[in-house]
């Protein structure tokens, strides 16, 4: 079982932090690569975040409303490897 970190994405060249708006997937849900898993709020808008890997969502680190720097881990997937 390989845990794959999901990180706060950089959604703009000047973005330094982002806020988790809503999780669209729950722990235990299967996630496909490219599937929308969360909404991330920036100073200017809310953006749908797509998963960069496929697997099972095993842990949500950042609850809705949590603001974190770009690159910080917000959740983990188990890729089944």
- CATH code, domain with 37: 2.40.50.100
Which domain range does residue 54 map to? 3-78
Q: Is the pLDDT of residue 1 over 80?
A: no
Please state whether beta strands 55-60 and 67-69 pair in parallel, antiparallel, or not at all (unpaired).
Answer: unpaired
DSSP state of 44: S
The number of folded domains in the chain is: 1
pLDDT tens figures, 26-78: 999 999 999 999 999 988 889 999 998 999 999 999 999 999 999 999 999 99
Cβ neighbourhood burial of 24 (10 Å; 0-12, 13-18, 19+): middle
pLDDT tens figures, 20-37: 999 999 999 999 999 999
């Amino acid at each position: 079982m390989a845990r794959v970190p999901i990180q706060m994405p950089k959604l703009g060249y000047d973005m330094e932090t982002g806020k988790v708006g809503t999780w669209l997937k729950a722990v235990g849900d299967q996630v496909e690569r490219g599937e929308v898993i969360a909404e991330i709020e920036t100073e200017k808008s809310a953006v749908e975040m797509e998963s960069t890997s496929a697997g099972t969502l095993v842990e949500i680190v950042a609850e809705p409303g949590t603001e974190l720097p770009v690159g910080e881990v917000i959740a983990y997937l188990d890729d089944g490897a």
